[in-house]
Amino acid sequence: MKIAVVGSINMDLVTHVQHLPKAGETIASHHFELIPGGKGANQAVAASRLGAHVSMIGMVGEDENGRVMLGGLTDAQVHIEGIKCSGTTGMAFINVSDDGENNIVLVPGANALVSTEHIADNLSILKDSDVVLLQLEIPMPVVEYTVKEAARLGKLVILNPAPARELSSELLTHVHTLTPNETELSILTGMPVSTIDEVHAAAKKLLSGGPKRVIVTLGEKGALLITADEATHIPAFRVEPVDTTAAGDSFTAAFAVGITQGMTETEAATFASKVAAIVVTRNGAQPSLPTFDEVQAYSF
C-alpha cells in the first residue's frame, strides 16, 4: 500500500532551554541543534520507517539546507520525485524545555511557493497512492486543490489540520480523517476543550462538516476517536517525555500506515499512540521516529 504526503519540508533550529521563555524574557540555551523537520517531511519519514511505500510532494530551497533535507528523505527511503527546488528552504525555530515541552516559530520559505500547478504536474503520484496525507504548512489553496483532486481520484484523504486555520466546508466534505490536537480543535471550532465531554462535542461539530472520523490527540491523555456512531478513547502509553516535537506528526503518519496495513481504526489509533509515545522519549523531529521493528520490540 502506498502513501503520498503533500506538505512542508523545514530545517529545524532547535534550542534546548531550562524552561520556555515568557514574554519579554531572555534566557540562555544549553544546547543547539540543526535537525531535519517540517510536518510534511516528518510524516513522510515516519510512515516510511514504519514500512510504507511513501512519495512526497513539496518544495525545498536551492541551498545547503535543501540539499540536506533531500538527502535525509532519500536515506529514509522516501521517494522525492515530487519535490521541487526554489528559493530558500523553510525553517522552524524550536525551543525545547528540560521537561519536554516546546514552542515553534515557522519561517515558510520554499513551502510558501508550493502551487496548484506543482500538484497538477505530480498528479501521477496521487493516482499511484492509496492514502493522501496533508497538513497546513503550505498555502491553503494548494491544500484545497490537492484534497479535491485526491477525492476525485478515489483516494483516502487524511488531513492533519496544523497549524490550525479556518477550513472550508468544501474541503471538509472531501476529507476522510481529521487529526487535530486539543488546541487545534478549539481553534477550528471556537469551542472549549478542557474536558473529554467538551472535546467530544467539538469533534462532533467538525464531524458534521463531512469527515468520516475525527481523531483528537490529547498528549498524555491519549486520543479520542470519534465517528458518527461512536467515540473511542485510545489510552496513552506511559513514558518519560524528553521532547514532544513530532509527536503529533508521528501519530498521524502511524495511523495512516495502520489503515493501509488493514488494521481497524481502533487498532490503527492504538498503534499510532504507541509510536507517538516512543517519539517523545527521544530528541528531535525526524531522528526520533522509530522503525516498525522498534515499535514492535519496545517495552512500556
Q: Are 158 and 174 in contact (CB under 8 A)?
A: no
Q: Is 245 annotated as a binding residue?
A: yes
Q: Is 65 annotated as a binding residue?
A: no
Q: Is 279 annotated as a binding residue?
A: yes
Q: Is 155 annotated as a binding residue?
A: no
- Known active-site residue 249: yes
The 10 Å CB-count burial string (b at 16+, else e) for 116-141 is eebbeebbebbeebbbbbbbbbbbee
Q: Is 288 annotated as a binding residue?
A: yes
d(CA 54, CA 45): 8
- Please give the DSSP secondary-structure letter assigned to residue 138: S
- How many CA atoms does the CB half-sphere of 149 hold within 13 Å? 25
Amino acid at 98: D
Which residue of the set 99, 229, 249, 293 is catalytic?
249
Query: ω into residue 241 within 30 of 0, thus cis?
Result: no
C-alpha angle 167-170-175 in degrees, rounded to nearest 5:
75
Q: Is 64 annotated as a binding residue?
A: no
Q: Is 40 annotated as a binding residue?
A: yes
Q: Is 179 annotated as a binding residue?
A: no
Q: Are 288 and 279 in contact (CB under 8 A)?
A: yes
d(CA 96, CA 17): 6
Q: Is 41 annotated as a binding residue?
A: yes
Q: Is 117 annotated as a binding residue?
A: no
Q: Is 267 annotated as a binding residue?
A: no
Q: Are 38 and 137 in contact (CB under 8 A)?
A: yes
Q: Summarize the annotated binding site for K(+) as residue ranges.
A: 243, 245, 279, 282, 284, 288
Q: Which residues are annotated as a binding site?
A: 10-12, 38-42, 137, 181, 217-222, 243, 245, 248-249, 279, 282, 284, 288
Binding site listing for ATP: 181, 217-222, 248-249
Residues annotated within a binding site for substrate: 10-12, 38-42, 137, 249
Residues with catalytic roles: 249
